[in-house]
A and B are shown apart, each in its own frame.
Chain A
Amino acid sequence: MNFDFSDDQKQLRDEARRFLTEKCPPKAVRAVIDGKAPYDRELWKGLADMGFLGVAIPEAFGGSGAGHLELCVIAEEMGRALAPVPFSSTVYLAAEALLLAGSDAQKQKWLPAIAQGNAVGTLALFEGSGNPSPKAIKLTAANGVLNGTKKPVADGAIADFAIVAARTGSTGRDTDIALYLVDLTSEGVEAKALTSIDPSRNQAEISFKNVKAELLGAANEGWSILSQVLDRAAVLIGFEQVGGSDRALEMGRDYALDRIAFGRQIGSFQAVKHMLADMYVSATLARSNCYYGAWALSTNASELPEAAAAARISATQAFQHCSKNNIQVHGGMGFTWEFDCHLYYRRSNAVAVGLGSLSYWEDQLIERMRQKNAA
């Protein structure tokens, strides 16, 4: 059994960590939070130069073709550094959708641009409150023309193109939903930035008024493609959450070692120690579940849907658990704007719902396990 990343992949992780430690310190995250820029353009360019944006994009489309395991280790570092760039929307959602369902021309147009850092993409799925569901999609597509509104769209106000989920019929079946590829500079597109619990990442509302768009994949397969994209993104975002969990745990551990109260390191009090041990347990379970998701993703295994849901739930729980108790270990100082604890707390709560919430994935996991069991 070799249920671990290879030495080369670990080296890539170290390289990504070194790069992000230098180029993406908390100061860089705060610059975006303070509204100095909608995202860190310089970092984005740097990620492209390092080859990180195209790591899972085949060479034929301008990437390095390394693969999804490599993307997983980079994702972990992106989460750890809270990188304020549209990485997840562009790389896990848009690029994955293109790779799964794009025509050769569509891939040629957008994938090299993504790899070079010249195009930001996203997925426009949600229409207000609620979880992924074909029923919730009201935006219409008729003869390649889109009308409707998407909200929230991650990185929607900075994206160059979006994969838009649209309704083409009203039979009540999944086949009513098609995916469209939309150049967001098209006429009739209007994006408005929204305020987010995690201002280090952009959120937007995008309205489409008679916007011409091209189909991505077969018209009746939109929902099926989308489900696959969400599963793949669940694993990748899971790694971001694992990276964030580990960092929050480390911050708490370090503070517990440094801080003295009642003449002792606060980490010598069992109340604090056991809180940190429990955070470690969550983070470890999440990491192991995500490794399994990584294996399923990289081998296109039939276990992917179940593995992705487990990775998603476990990683969401771990990141929320670690980030909230990191504040608790820090006490009042952890609740100041000045300390970085809240950056992780904000991110953990934003990513917890960004791809469909915990309740949604809980339901998905058990449904998928039941189907497997019945088969």
Chain B
Amino acid sequence: MNFDDTPQEAAFRAEAKAWIAANAPKQYEDELKKAALGRIQLKSANILEVAKAWQKKKADAGWAVPHWPKDYGGRGASPIERVIWQQEEGVFGKLGALFIIGHGMCGPTMMAYAAEEHKRQYLPPLASGEKIWCQLFSEPAGGSDVAGLRTRAEKDGDDWVINGQKIWTSGAHYSDYGILITRTDPTVPKHKGLTMFFLDMKSPGVEVKPIKQANGQAEFNEVYFTDVRIPDAQRLGAVGDGWNVSLTTLMNERMAIGANVATGFPELFEFCNSLMLDDGPAIDDPAVRSRLANWAVRASGLRYTSFRAISALSRGERPGPENSIGKLVAGAMLQDIATYALDLQGAAGVLNGPEDAEVAGKFQAMLLRSPATRVEGGTDEILRNIIAERVLGLPGDIRVDKDVPFNKIPTKGR
């Protein structure tokens, strides 16, 4: 048992480290370090431009999406090399947030289902950040129940005509392309009538509207489709096979290993370490200590769980669905920790924003953003189902919609 690299891993790390040291945009390092949840903003520059510039620089040197094949803009790195790259990229990895969906979900789906010429055309600029992709899956009618979607695609000659609405699309307003799941046959059971496409987000009939969130930010969008035409050549997978295609995408979403999940603990620890209470530093108060200790062991437990997964990768094994615990544990922690930090601030905890609130309003921002963490990319309840079913082998929920034609499934609870 050790934390050492193998000789090959060490060589890869040294190369990555040297390149990053020479090339990273160091002027933003401090700001990026402080950036916590939600959309990152830079004071002095446009984050989108900085991120695109860094991504392009990496691409030119072969460091963009290192685990992709060289032909498609990657460098053919092994899974463990990918993790090493992430570790070395450190805070600059936060600049990759804009490309996460494209690289993590759209890219792998294209790689699995697009024609070879499409792959060579679309993947390299996706890797280099010159083109940004979004994923158009969620709908008002289908949240955790992704397959409950209602956006229609109807064949018209060599094209498909799309009408409907998507929701919770990150980055739709600055995306160039998107992958889109539609219903092509509402008369068969719900998982069977779906078809996947990719499309140009500048196509006529696509309208993007930002969603104002409960915390006042707007990270996500609604996207409306009115008679949008997509050539059949941009279909991904067979007609009616969209559900299986989407699973490729969703599996990739949950396979992000080794990425540090934000728990809020380091921030709270630092805060308690410097905060003076009535009788001395907060960290000396037994009640504070007890709370901190409980979160400390959850944060370290997650950290070492990811170390175990990284070790499995290093041995060439494929880590399993047990990695679902990360977001489940971290989401609830963020919310509890933020609530407790406000509690420690007393009445001043009610103040918000960088000027008026304690520690630049970090915990208020966390409090307001954290409910979304427990919902997006798989709710706490869906994650518990994944653990119960895929790790522990318990039966799935009883499904009343499995063999029913989609247009016979009730749409209103009452």
Contact = CB atoms under 8 A, between A and B. Distances in A.
Interface of A: 1-6, 69, 249, 253, 256-257, 264-265, 267-268, 270, 273-274, 276-278, 280-281, 284-289, 291-292, 294-295, 298-299, 309-310, 313-314, 317, 359, 361-363, 365-367, 369-370, 373
Contacts of A294: 1
Interface string B281-302: 0010010111011101110111
A317 B394 contact: no
Contacts of A284: 301, 305, 322, 325
Given A310-B296, A317-B297, A281 B391 contact: no
A270 B380 CA distance: 12
Interface of B: 1-5, 9, 269, 273, 283, 286, 288-290, 292-294, 296-298, 300-305, 307-308, 310-312, 314-315, 322, 325, 328-329, 381, 383-385, 387-389, 391-398
Given A4-B308, A277-B388, A373-B273, A285 B293 contact: no
A3 B308 contact: yes
Nearest to A311: B297
Contacts of B292: 362, 366
Contacts of B312: 4
Contact of A291 (B1, B388, B398): B1
A257 B297 CA distance: 31
Contact of B393 (A257, A278, A310, A365): A257
A212 B50 CA distance: 75
Majority DSSP secondary structure for residues of A touching B: helix
B273 A370 contact: yes
Contacts, number: 165
Given A1-B5, A363-B289, A310 B385 contact: no
B304 A288 contact: yes
A281 B381 contact: no
A1 B387 contact: no
Given A257-B393, A267-B394, A373-B273, A362 B1 contact: no
Given A285-B302, A365-B297, A2 B1 contact: yes
A362 B393 contact: no
A255 to B, nearest CB: 11
Query: Which 8 A-B residue pairs are closest in the complex by CB-CB distance?
Result: A285-B301, A362-B293, A288-B304, A277-B384, A273-B388, A277-B387, A267-B394, A314-B297
Contacts of B305: 284-285, 287-288
Nearest to B396: A268
Which one of A3, A280, A287, A373 has the highest number of Cβ atoms from chain B below 10 Å of its Cβ?
Answer: A3
B274 to A, nearest CB: 10
A32 B70 CA distance: 65
B318 to A, nearest CB: 15
A274 B384 contact: yes
